[in-house]
Amino acid sequence: MREPRYCQKCADKSVKDTMVDYIMGSTYSEIDLDDNPCIIPSCGHILTLESMDGHMDIAKYYIVSENAGGENPLIGLKSSSVPFSTSDLKNCPMCRSPLRNINRYGRIVRRAWIDEATKKFIVWANAQFVPLASRMEEAEAKLRELITEKPTSKSPLLGNTGLSFALDNLTLKRIEIIGSRDHQIKTALKACSSNARYKDILLLRRDIKRFLKAVDEAEQPISRIHDLVQDARRHRGIYTEVIDLPSVLQVNNRLLATVLLLRCDYAIISDFITHNCDMASGGNAGDICLNLGTNREDCENLTQESHSRQQPAHEVEGLLYWARFLALERNRSVSLSDAETTKLVDRARDRLHLARAICTANPGQTAGMLEEVSTAERMLRDSTFYAPVTNEEKAAVFAAMAQTFQGTGHWYYCANGHPFTVGECGMPMQRARCPQCGAAVGGADHQPAEGVRRAADFEAEFGMRRQ
């Protein structure tokens, strides 16, 4: 800096008397700038290069020359920049102002910024998901209560809670639930005389879709930064990738939201069919035809991704909903022949057999899901609809997630630095796999798995959110 106020001869006495060397306790006037240069951040405070390097813990990230005079030039990277490799966001030690304008520490500061943004994203996503899961349970319970209500005797097809069918010469018009999942829901609603029955669950479905979009990889902080950097590099004629994004992006909340949306769509379609059976004379829903191939394809995608990420609970969910959607379609398909239906039913049984094997091999992560497998098997065998009910184990998981935001529970990092949470007492009691990298998470008997460490920075973030 060439400003007079920082000149060792012309500066104000308050500037000259400022302590700038935390190691030797020297003031600015006592420092030989040729031997021990100083750094002046945008906030205006003065520190020696050695003091600022120590504050930034620069030796953790760079190889520093031992014999290069007073400037201690950086001669190489000690390690690559990996997610959550910085303990906290470093600021000016005097006033806590950001150090974003000092090129020497740019790599360290920007890594901390990205980590901080990702932590806030994870905290926000978890806080948003818990209420959605609770609302899903309430919406399903409400639909079950409405099913048990007896239809009005005056007009079973046109009652306030019934279905309204177009009449053509006193013949019911066939309703086809086909196409995309959004189109299926719109068709079902169009066939209803009133949307009051599905008002709550439709609002929930809208919120789940918004959440699913918000937690998509393309919307995450690191992905947006990656796109900006890549765009800047392309403008400079550089066409190499900057970072391996799959190891950084957070996917668990997207998988949770994907399962929740499948569950929501299944609840609406199955209730629509069941309610039509109850309201129609003779209990026959043959006038409703289905093609749920899109639904099964989405279940297949969920199953494959969950398997690749070693997430057995989500994998089982994908297998279960594949079978459930087929059970809805099997006797009222728009286009499937009997032979094709038989093949699909056999595939569904194979999937449920696989789901049972996964549950048996991973009892801790799939607690309570064996009963859901048995229920799905009964659906295929008896052609009877069963609305999925959140089992006690799943309810305990959601309750533990909620408690995390009420002051209980703890956050941890896996061996590769990806964060996860443990609810209830906050001490690990079962092992699982990190959805980001497959490393061991959790633990047993209150002892974390090898490589797992407490995430004190996340604890601090939650503390700030609760205040």
pLDDT in tens, 296-317: 999 999 999 999 888 899 999 9
Distances in whole angstroms, Cα of residue 401 to Cα of each of 298, 378, 394, 446: 26, 31, 11, 18
Q: What is the mean pLDDT of residues 316-343?
A: 92
Quick one: which of 84, 86, 109, 89 has its CA closest to 416? 84
Considering the entire predicted model, what is its pTM?
A: 0.72
- For residue 221, the model assigns a pLDDT of 79
Q: Write out the two tokens for 280.
A: 């129609």
With tokens 């039913």, the residue in question is 345
Q: Which region holds residue 284: left if phi is over 0, alpha if psi is between -120 and 50, else beta? A: beta
Max CA pair span of the chain: 103
Q: Which of 177-191, 237-251, 359-373, 408-422 has the lowest mean pLDDT?
A: 237-251
For residue 8, the SS3 value is coil
Work out the mean pLDDT of the chain and round it to a whole number: 79
Phi, psi of 378 (to 5 degrees): -65, -35
With tokens 């929501």, the residue in question is 264
Q: CB-based contacts of 66: which residues, under 8 Å, 6+ apart?
A: none
pLDDT band at 458 (very low <50, low <70, confident <90, very high): low
Quick one: which of 72, 13, 67, 69 has its CA closest to 39? 72
Q: Write out the two tokens for 200.
A: 């709550």
Q: Is the dihedral of CA 140, 141, 145, 148 positive or negative?
A: positive
Distances in whole angstroms, Cα of residue 163 to Cα of each of 147, 166, 174, 286: 13, 10, 13, 14
Quick one: which of 351, 355, 366 has its CA closest to 433? 366
Quick one: which of 221, 249, 250, 254 has its CA closest to 117? 221
pLDDT band at 261 (very low <50, low <70, confident <90, very high): very high
Instruction: Give the percent of the chain with pLDDT over 90.
Output: 28
- What residue type is 395 in one-letter code? A
Is the separation of the CB atoms in 430 and 440 below 8 Å?
Answer: no
Quick one: which of 334, 323, 326 has its CA closest to 288? 334
Distances in whole angstroms, Cα of residue 101 to Cα of each of 4, 172, 225: 21, 72, 18
Is the separation of the CB atoms in 21 and 51 below 8 Å?
Answer: yes
Between 132 and 94, residue with greater pLDDT: 132
Between 125 and 405, residue with greater pLDDT: 125
Q: Containing H/E element for 458?
A: helix 456-466
Cα(102)–Cα(48) distance, integer angstroms: 14
Cα(100)–Cα(346) distance, integer angstroms: 61
Between 224 and 369, residue with greater pLDDT: 369
Q: Which of 45-49, 145-149, 217-221, 442-446 has the lowest mean pLDDT?
A: 145-149
Q: What is the mean pLDDT of residues 237-250?
A: 64
**pLDDT tens across 347-366, in order?**
999 999 999 999 999 887 88
- For residue 237, the model assigns a pLDDT of 83
Q: Write out the two tokens for 91.
A: 């600021």
Is the separation of the CB atoms in 328 and 290 below 8 Å?
Answer: yes
Instruction: Give the percent of the chain with pLDDT over 70.
Output: 75
Between 466 and 8, residue with greater pLDDT: 8
- For residue 377, the model assigns a pLDDT of 93
Cα(414)–Cα(85) distance, integer angstroms: 12
Q: What is the mean pLDDT of residues 160-182?
A: 63
For residue 133, the SS3 value is helix
Please say if the pLDDT value at position 158 is more than 50: no
Q: What is the dihedral of CA 290, 291, 292, 298, to 10 degrees?
A: -160
Is the separation of the CB atoms in 275 and 228 below 8 Å?
Answer: no
Cα(47)–Cα(300) distance, integer angstroms: 58
- For residue 283, the model assigns a pLDDT of 44
Please say if the pLDDT value at position 430 is more than 80: no
Is the separation of the CB atoms in 208 and 258 below 8 Å?
Answer: no
Indicate the DSSP class of residue 27: B
Between 319 and 224, residue with greater pLDDT: 319
Q: What is the dihedral of CA 167, 172, 177, 182, to 10 degrees?
A: 20
CA angle at 447 for the pair 441 and 451, rounded to the nearest 5°: 45
With tokens 């209990």, the residue in question is 283
Cα(118)–Cα(249) distance, integer angstroms: 9
Q: What is the mean pLDDT of residues 27-42?
A: 86
Q: Write out the two tokens for 134.
A: 């609770």
Please say if the pLDDT value at position 399 is more than 70: no
Q: Which of 81-90, 259-268, 273-282, 409-418 has the lowest mean pLDDT?
A: 273-282
- Residue 453, strand partner residues: 413
Between 217 and 393, residue with greater pLDDT: 217
